[in-house]
Amino acid sequence: MITQDTLFRIGNFNFRFNHLLVIGILIIAFSVSFLIRSQGAEYGYELNEFDPFFNFRATQYLLENGLSEYFNWHDSMSWHPNGRDVSATSQTMLHITAALTYQIFGGNSSLYDFTILFPVVFGSLTTIVIFALVRVIGGTTAGLFAALFYSVSVPIVLRGTLGWFKSEPLGLFYGLLGLYLFLSGIKSENKKITISKLVTGGVMLGFGLSSWGGIQFFVIPIGIFILVLPFVRKDHSFLIWSIPLFVVSFLLTIVLFERPGIEFVFGLGGFSLIIPTGFLVANTIIQKFSNPENQTRNSLFFLFTVIIAGSVLIFVNADSEFLPLPSYRYLNAINPFLTTTDPLVDSVSEHATTTLAQSFFFHSVLMIFAGIGIWLILSRKTENLKNDMMGFALVIGLLGVYVSSAFVRLEVFASVSIIILSSIGLSLLTKKIFQRKSGFNQIGNPTKISFVIVITALLFSPLVISTNGNWIDSVKIPATILNGGTIYPIVTNDWKDSLEWIKKNTPEDSVIAAWWDYGYWITTLSERTTLADNATIDSKKISEIATVFLNPPDEAWNKLQEMDADYVLVFVAGQKIDVLSDQSLYTLEGGGDESKKQWFMRIAEEPLEKYLYSDGISGTEYFWNDTLLGQMFPFTVIGYVDLQNPNIQSEVYIPGFTPIYVKDIKYQSDGNGPLRLVYSSPGYENEKTGPMIGVFVYEINRDYL
């Protein structure tokens, strides 16, 4: 066959045509991933979302001050007046990796530009890592399918686009690399290679967990896989030292970092690996002293005992918590049926529960091939594929789908799982079709051609269909700082101009009060101290800010001074209506603080009916007239309209009607109120019909009585 023809030789290695084919497909996967992730450059070359700005600032601090100072850094510009211990509350390995790669590959680029491109490069490199991982599990063909599927997976690409200098892209890179080295290590027949792969795999998985806490997910399937290994492999003398070597390497790496650190090792996460490893070692010893006829029975009885004991341990720990528990969102991932009582957790959009429509859009036709993969594995129609690898594919595949049901952010794990299963399923299906004998007058050729056409059409359809709602276009969005995270796909400089104004026009020791969403932007770009930021490490402080915003202006003024604030920032998003009127009319609820006010109320534990009408959105007269937040919004309600029939209007609220606003600045720059408006962004002054976003900075009037 042409794929086996030798093109050239390097030492004892024969470079064949099939090697060239593999390299070519991997280059395609990397390139496609890189191009899709980079679409945001059309709107502007900026860091995206909120956390990347802190990660940029932390990486800059590390480069300027060194590793020792970084680990001793107590950031006094955040969470005023207490500050923040950065290395204990951050994705440390993300900052270290970025700083190291910048020193090697940064060249003449600025650190800011480098960190914008960082997630695109590592996200695209992960297509090669998942090829290697799936190749170990299901063969080269499956690995190539996995690389291509990974390059276009919406949940994965969405959390690794241009400027997404956050934890997921690097965490997945390290985590999947660790999994590959682990599986490859226990498959290797060379003892030296096995040791190096297992040790390196444990270190890489540890790096992944220090880069992104979500990598804790990989601990669960590994733990279950270790429990299963004695029943699917006979080389117990190999397993008794190789598995502990990997687990010890992983846990020792975790101890090197403050986060997750020693608490993870001696918490549920660490015990999820320690207990299965202990079972494997003890089971091997028990089998040596058991009769061959009773070995399986004894192993199953021992496994059942371990499972019962582990369940009791988890049940008892739920009350006593003698083992450190992960945060709520990780517990929610393990048990999607948990319901939170913390509105701060609920207020984060990425913690919303995944809907069936979202799941179908995210995974589409891959669900079909994943189902085929599960069926072929369970029916044992997997020639030349080892039982342990098929077992791991099933474990991680089913667990990934289960865990992702908790909330949208974890759909990345469903994607990884479905990619593994669908790649195996499609490769096995392809192999069975192409193994059929074919000739010029036989039905084999038409069958194969039809198979290729149908599969290609199925795989390409979600990439291009439907218009503006396909996999490629859905990840083509502007950076958050360019539209404020609103519902409008627009590009403005309102936030950048506002942050620059704060930097140039306020004293360097100023303290800014704002909703926690904007904390990282203010600290990084304005270089000013904030009361709270996106780390959400002090939920009490966030609750206090929410309470201040909902307090009557006089009470809020007193409280802001107690909190040592000098300025207050609010953000409003809406739309100017195109109507024949002498006044400029607006609708709000575009994604600014006006859309988050109900979360302010829940977090402050205030009754919603006091501030909102029955629709749960429209503010009451009390909200607009008697709260600091209502007074800071430079708009006033003049009536309500039925948008389905704009001729039907009302001066008072009617359920189903939409409030209409006019501009109205309550705290003028030269006024005597508790606040004075010192800056409003250009978008507020723009009188064009369409989306409007405005950033408003108020100075606290120290002379107010």
Q: Using CA atoms, how far apart are residues 112 and 56, in angstroms rounded to an integer?
A: 7
Give the tokens for residue 133: 């991982």
Question: For the chain, how far is it from start to end, CA to CA, in angstroms?
Answer: 90
- In this structure, are residues 40 and 478 in contact, taking their beta carbons and an 8 Å threshold? yes
3-class secondary-structure state, position 641: strand
Confidence of residue 19 (pLDDT cuts 50, 70, 90): confident
| CA nearest neighbour of 679 among 413, 498, 476 | 498
- In this structure, are residues 180 and 132 in contact, taking their beta carbons and an 8 Å threshold? yes
- The mean per-residue pLDDT over the stretch 609-628 comes to 95
Share of the chain above pLDDT 90, in %: 62
Residues 6+ apart with CB under 8 A from 552: 626, 627, 628
- The mean per-residue pLDDT over the stretch 4-26 comes to 75
Give the pLDDT score at 513: 97
Question: What value does the mean pLDDT of the chain take?
Answer: 88
3-class secondary-structure state, position 300: helix
CA atoms within 13 A on the CB side of 153: 34
3-class secondary-structure state, position 669: coil
Residue 675 main-chain phi, psi, to 5 deg: -130, 155
Q: pLDDT digit string (tens) for 533-569?
A: 999 889 999 999 999 999 999 999 999 999 999 999 9
Q: Which residue has the tokens 């920032």?
A: 569
Q: Using CA atoms, how far apart are residues 588 and 77, in angstroms rounded to an integer?
A: 32
Asked if the model's pLDDT at residue 284 lies above 70, the reply is yes
Residues 6+ apart with CB under 8 A from 393: 137, 138, 373, 377, 420, 421, 424
Q: pLDDT digit string (tens) for 409-418?
A: 788 999 999 9
- The mean per-residue pLDDT over the stretch 254-268 comes to 90
Q: Using CA atoms, how far apart are residues 400 and 393, in angstroms rounded to an integer?
A: 10
Task: Sketch the domain layout of the chain as residue ranges.
Answer: 20-165, 193-324, 481-700
Q: Using CA atoms, how far apart are residues 416 and 421, in angstroms rounded to an integer?
A: 9
Asked if the model's pLDDT at residue 333 lies above 70, the reply is no
Give the pLDDT score at 351: 60
User: Which stretches does DSSP call E strand in 567-634?
Assistant: 567-576, 586-587
Tell me how far the alpha carbon of residue 357 is from its chain's centroid.
19
CA distances from 535 to 55, 85, 541 (A): 11, 11, 12
Please, which residues bridge with residue 529 across strands? 511
Asked if the model's pLDDT at residue 445 lies above 80, the reply is no
Asked if the model's pLDDT at residue 443 lies above 50, the reply is no
| CA nearest neighbour of 267 among 221, 321, 316, 208 | 321
Q: What is the value of pTM for the model shown? A: 0.91
Share of the chain above pLDDT 70, in %: 87
Q: pLDDT digit string (tens) for 419-438?
A: 999 999 999 888 888 776 55
